[in-house]
A and B are shown apart, each in its own frame.
Chain A
Amino acid sequence: MKKTLYLSFALMLLITGISSVSCKKDAEETPTPETPYTPTPYTLRVPTGWPTPIIPDFNPTTIEGIRLGRMLFYDDILSMNGRSCSSCHHPDKSYSTPLFITSGGESISVPPLINLAWNTDFEWYGQVAHMDHVPLGDFTPEFFDPNMDTIVARIKAHSLYPRYFYEAFNIKDVGAISSDELKLKASYAIIQFVRTLITDSSKYDRVMRHQTAFTAEEMHGSAIYYTEAGDCFHCHGTPLLTNNVMTNNGLDTVFTGENRGYINVTGRPTDLGKFSAPTLRNIELTAPYMHDGRFQTLEEVIEFYNSGVHWNSPNIDPIMTKPFKEYGLMLSAQDKADLIAFLKTFTDTSIIHNPEYISPF
């Protein structure tokens, strides 16, 4: 009798347990008006010595938002042509891609998506004021070629997205909000994920933390980088390796189309030829170089700064025209090789395989 009682009790517990698990699963997959909307705040990791990340009040980072954003980043559900964000932002290229040719036939070097939580300008010439709005530019025929009715239907029919949109943004029915609102919330989620793409584990970082040491070549390259000899530090200083400033580095003297740069945003003649100074973190992974991808290798880039700067470029940054640079930096072959060896210490391949960053599919 006692044994029977124990068995009955155990059976009840088992049934209750199964029922509980089953109910929980149902609740997770099918949001109901009764399901509480309680997004979980997420605090970005800030490497020691880095500034406070810039996160706008209108798009706070949450675990649910990151989860949704990560799925959307790697999913072609938002496009009619099979593209997703990851089509042009490959993890092994520091979330950039070799080159993108616009419908107008112009070449654009796709910027890497790393450490953007610290950026103050976005796209090559600051076309978008808020990072959170950058993905909106993908909802065009040129990129996602979207049909919003189809996209809404796909999301509604998906086994996870309805719940993910609800838990991230309190959207109970993606079909009940406007297309613009849906695109905006998708953008917000994607950017919440992108803000988590942080790289601070390069050899350079380990040297800064006194965990390892530069080789003699890298050390010499560092001296060139951080002194007037190479003068890289004025625009690519520690630790983000960008000063977040629009700059004309003397690439050209004549500008057309996208190549006109920041003037396309401000309309000010004094912004002709100015572009965002990119971070040099993972520069080894992001060829080709410059906004239009004109240089295929780091050797070509260094040679440009060594001997190819156009001094008569309008609005050229004064730092580019120091008197001793008039005839180039006069770097020797060894100097250039060592400078490149130093630049390669900025490479952090851990972001390629980080389980929190890679595709969830």
Chain B
Amino acid sequence: MKTYIFVALSLVLIISSCKKDEETTPSPDPSTLNIRLSHAVDANVLYFDSLLYTNEAGYNYAISRVWYYLSNVRLIKSDSSEIKILDYRFIDGSRPTLGNIDIGSVAKGSYIGLAYCIGLDSASNQSYSLPATTDNQNMEWPDGMGGGYHFLKFEGHFVDSGNTFGFAMHIGTNNYLVNGKLWAPITLGDGVNTLNVEMNMNEWFKNPAVYDFNMDGNYSMSSMMAMEKLMMNGADVLKLK
């Protein structure tokens, strides 16, 4: 009888021991990732409301507002598969703390780039679907014009023939979601990893298409062609610092 009990207990121990081993099957060790997002104009620091910059079309210009949603951020593996690390974040270029994005745990290892969107996917781009914050409400796209949210509000002034004019590069509606890629080797090791990412505002005005305020319009809203050009140019506005 004692032998049976001993065998039975041993079996239970062995089984439970095996089960535990299965549960702790190695998975990639997590490391912590923080993104620090900043804004610049080519190699220059972004100073708001200052006519310091020149875009690809040759206009001297100043920036007064940079509001947008950074969303669906993914790390790209060498086999092209992706790990999503951020759903969405509202960014205001004049409030640097909003660019401090603590991602949390991410599998450590090597990646070949970062994929991102400027704007919101169609599920989120529904009127009143985002939390009722002042920032989200300031980004609302009126119901009468289709509803949802602005993806980008990039505004300022430019000089043309000695005269100053305003510009407002607004993007919205599902057709104009910016899909971007940032190609650069990214290695996440033990502990805290920080990715310093920078948006070059001049990239909105070039590559692949030069955006000319006079030709394309200094206000993009209501212009499908203008928004499409901005959407395409937005595909490479981010880079690693």
Contact = CB atoms under 8 A, between A and B. Distances in A.
The 3 nearest A-B residue pairs measured at CB: A318-B166, A270-B49, A321-B166
21 contacts: A51-B133, A52-B133, A223-B144, A226-B142, A228-B221, A238-B137, A239-B137, A240-B134, A243-B138, A245-B138, A268-B49, A270-B50, A315-B49, A317-B155, A317-B166, A318-B64, A318-B166, A321-B165, A322-B168, A322-B219, A323-B217
Interface centre among A237, A322, A323 (most CB of B within 10 A): A322
Interface in A296-355: 315-323
B137 A318 contact: no
Given A243-B138, A318-B166, A323 B144 contact: no
Interface in A170-189: none
A228 B222 contact: yes
B223 to A, nearest CB: 11
A237 B49 contact: no
A323 B218 contact: yes
Interface string A203-229: 000000000000000000011001110
Chain B interface size, under 10 / 10 to 19 / 20 to 34 / 35 or more: 20 to 34
B128 interface: yes
A226 B143 CA distance: 8
Contacts of B65: 318
A233 B134 contact: no
B211 interface: no
B64 A51 contact: no
Contacts of A118: 134
Given A51-B133, A270-B49, A270-B50, A320 B140 contact: no
Nearest to A239: B137
A244 interface: yes
Given A317-B166, A318-B157, A318-B168, A50 B144 contact: no
A297 B130 CA distance: 36
Contacts of A323: 217-219
Nearest to B128: A49
Contacts of A268: 49
Interface of A: 49-52, 118, 120, 222-223, 226-228, 233, 237-240, 243-245, 268, 270, 315-323
Contacts of B140: 233, 237-238
Contacts of B133: 51-52
Contact of B137 (A240, A270, A319): A240
B194 to A, nearest CB: 29
B166 A51 contact: no
Contacts of A239: 137
B151 interface: no
Chain A residues touching B, majority SS: loop
Nearest to A46: B132
A86 to B, nearest CB: 29
Nearest to B127: A238
B166 A227 contact: no
A321 B165 CA distance: 7
A320 B166 contact: yes
B142 A318 contact: no
B99 interface: no
A226 B128 CA distance: 15
B138 A237 contact: yes
Contact of A222 (B144, B167, B218, B222): B144
Contact of A318 (B138, B155, B222): B155
Interface in B111-159: 128, 132-134, 137-138, 140, 142-145, 155-157
A237 B166 contact: no
B132 A50 contact: yes
Among the interface residues B142, B155, B156, which one has the most CB atoms of the partner chain A within 10 A? B142
Contacts of B132: 49-52
Given A49-B128, A321-B165, 16 more contacts: A49-B132, A51-B132, A51-B133, A222-B144, A223-B144, A227-B142, A233-B142, A237-B137, A240-B137, A243-B138, A316-B166, A318-B167, A320-B166, A321-B166, A322-B166, A323-B217
Contacts of A238: 137, 140
A222 B142 CA distance: 11
B218 to A, nearest CB: 7
B166 A319 contact: yes
B166 A244 contact: no
B197 to A, nearest CB: 26
A28 to B, nearest CB: 40
A227 B221 CA distance: 10
Contacts of B142: 226-227, 233
Nearest to B164: A312
A237 B155 CA distance: 18
A261 to B, nearest CB: 14
B201 to A, nearest CB: 15
A319 B168 contact: yes
